[in-house]
Amino acid sequence: MSTEVLEKTKAVDLMPLTEWIEEEGLDIIVDEVLTAERLANIVATLRNRLQVFGKVTDLNIKVRGENYAIRVNNNYKGFVSVTNEYGDTGVSYTQYYPYFVDDDDPNDFPALLSLAQMINEAWYLIL
């Protein structure tokens, strides 16, 4: 899959995902840690990496001058973890997959929502 295709796919999802994040009132947004748009970008980037690299991916981000690592283990009963630069880690577990797309319905919006919620939960656990 080319980078150009990934960028076009990412751009399509950002508006409804950003709106959903704002409406849902996730802690990470309410506490003004991230904007809804930045969280949507993080979720889309993780989705793109999972599509290209497979079942496990990492993303390093900087928030308010501090470094954080987000890891998605997209295996059955997988998890999303957020680790700060001091080694504190929050983990959100699922009984299915953090990012799951049904073969019969290629719409991945529900999977993106799941990732956003799991990042929010993992982040909240390290506060």
pLDDT tens for each residue of 57-93: 999 999 999 999 999 999 999 999 999 999 999 999 9
**φ, ψ at 78 (rounded to 5°):** -80, -165
pLDDT tens for each residue of 21-71: 999 999 999 989 999 999 999 999 999 999 888 899 999 999 999 999 999
Inter-helix orientation angle 3-24/109-125, to 10°: 60
Q: Report the predicted TM-score, pTM, of the whole model to 2 decimal places.
A: 0.88
Domain, as residue range, for 81: 3-125
Contact yes or no for 18/35 (Cβ under 8 A): no
The single-letter DSSP state of residue 2 is -
Q: How many domains does the chain have?
A: 1
Contact yes or no for 89/80 (Cβ under 8 A): no
Task: Name residue 22's amino acid.
Answer: E
Q: What DSSP string describes 68-109?
A: EEEEEE-STT-EEEEEETTS-EEEEE-SS-SS---TT----H
